[in-house]
Amino acid sequence: MAELIRTCGRLGQFAGLSIPALAIVLELQHAISLGQMLVMLLASVCCFWIGRLLEAYAAS
């Protein structure tokens, strides 16, 4: 069970690191507005933070 939680945490961290790059590409293509880009960046911080908490929880 701890391994599953650790894996979910790692995936959350990976998503948190990948979303900003996707947001930048989408904004450069004018597919999203700056406000939507800001929301994506905030979501990526939350994903990374939750992923880090899950990984720490699995280690304890």
Condensed to tens digits (0 to 9), the pLDDT of residues 4-45 reads 999 999 999 999 999 999 999 999 999 999 999 999 999 999
Entry pTM: 0.85
Strand, helix or coil for residue 45: helix
| pLDDT band (50, 70, 90) for residue 1 | confident
Strand, helix or coil for residue 52: helix
Half-sphere exposure of 47 (CA within 13 A, CB side): 18
